[in-house]
Amino acid sequence: MADAACRYRSGLRHWHPLLPSRRLGRRPRRQLLCGQALVLFRTASGQAAALAEVCPHRRMSLAAGTVRGEQLLCAYHGWRFAADGSISCPLMPAVALQQQAFQVREADGLIWVRRPGKSEQPHEAPPLPSWPRGDLLPAGLTLHTVAAPLEVTLDNFTETEHTTTIHQVFGFRDPAAVTLRLELEPASTRVWNSGPQKAFPRLFDAFIDIRPHDHFANDWTTRFDPPLTVFEQTWQTQGRGGWRRRRFRLRVVVFFLPLSDTTTQLTTLLYTPRVLPGPLHGWLAAPIARAIMAYELRLDVKALAQLADLNPDLCARTLGPFDRVLLENRRRLQMIYLGTE
């Protein structure tokens, strides 16, 4: 059921990368987004579609239905739903009925969903979010579900103080030795952290040239249309000629999707340089990089699940120097993501 009281409802007007395209076949799927229960399905011609989940007739979940040709058949009495939401009832062929339909696009291996604006025609949809692609290669995408509200989840990803304690590979040895710089723009925040890399297991030394005594720099920008952070992570080593940039680097793009008031989805895209020649890179290096990233993200998910208080209100918190950006992000989240249309 749609949750009209969900405090993220207004965010639905932004594009959200909800699901990898490969996960949507002919079988309809139930999916929450901003408290809205959706049914996603793919028609016989391959078009992905998203409708409000509940059949207006007698409230059957359309996720129990079946795709026939270009329509989704309700499992209860067989009313038929097209991708644009038009309903045909075999017993009332002359009656025009409409189910709420959502805009859907497929790009970058993802299914993107948004609610059309109130006065908007479907073709007027804004462009999908973009982020730097550069010279790096895509190493895949991961989804994680966090048992915490959007703000609390975003807070976790917008400070790196916790990387010393929570993470295993990517992070700083000692937060006291980390340089912090903030760049605040009306629609985005940029944080730059730099300091000694923490010790980490050296299983992949053969093709990743970062070492425990390197200098780690994490430069990340957060936007709010929808909430997404692009992390640019680089390493430097000190040699006789001074500091030299390592060849290996990472770009991690994390989208924060509120599914409900208390649950947030992370849709994460990972990019790396080529580290192995030819197809070996795709077969071996990319899956390993993706597995390490998924593991690190699970550590974030686990930490968030252990919070004793999920109230997003920051007023009663004792904040440290790394937390300044949290307040800035909250303001922009409110104004840009949740602000009125």
Residue type, 282: G
Helices (H), 238-316: 279-280, 286-305
- Whole-number minimum distance, CB 97 to ligand FES, in Å? 11
Q: Decide whether 51 or 228 has the Cβ nearer to Fe ion.
A: 228
Site string for Fe ion, 259-298 (x = CB under 5 A): ----------------------------------------
Q: Are 261 and 6 in contact (CB under 8 A)?
A: yes
300 binds, among Fe ion, ligand FES, none (CB under 5 to 8 A by kind): Fe ion
Query: CA-CA distance, 47 to 278, in Å (whole number)?
Result: 33
Nearest to 175 by CA among 163, 187, 158, 190: 163
Residue number with the smallest Cβ distance to Fe ion: 300
Torsion, Cα of 148, 260, 297, 309 (10° steps): 0
Among 23, 30, 58, 68, binds ligand FES (CB under 6 A): 58
Among 7, 10, 20, 57, binds ligand FES (CB under 6 A): 57
At CA 49, angle to CA 46 and CA 51, rounded to 5? 155
Stretch that binds ligand FES, among 18-26, 69-77, 207-215, 320-328 (CB under 6 A): 69-77
Query: CA-CA distance, 162 to 301, in Å (whole number)?
Result: 13
Task: Decide: is 300 part of the binding site for Fe ion (CB under 5 A).
Answer: yes
Q: Decide whether 55 or 154 has the Cβ nearer to ligand FES.
A: 55
Contacts of 222 (CB under 8 A, 6+ apart): 154, 158, 188, 189, 190, 191, 228, 229, 325, 329, 332
Site string for ligand FES, 74-93 (x = CB under 6 A): x-xx-x--------------
Q: Decide whether 81 or 271 has the Cβ nearer to Fe ion.
A: 271
Estimate the crossing angle of helix 150-157 against helix 286-305, to 10 degrees.
Answer: 120
Pairing of strands 227-239, 29-33: unpaired
- Whole-number minimum distance, CB 64 to Fe ion, in Å? 38
- Whole-number minimum distance, CB 78 to ligand FES, in Å? 6
173 binds, among Fe ion, ligand FES, none (CB under 5 to 8 A by kind): none
- Whole-number minimum distance, CB 60 to ligand FES, in Å? 4
The residue ranges that bind Fe ion (CB under 5 A) are: 300
**Residue ranges in contact with ligand FES by CB under 6 A:** 55, 57-58, 60, 74, 76-77, 79
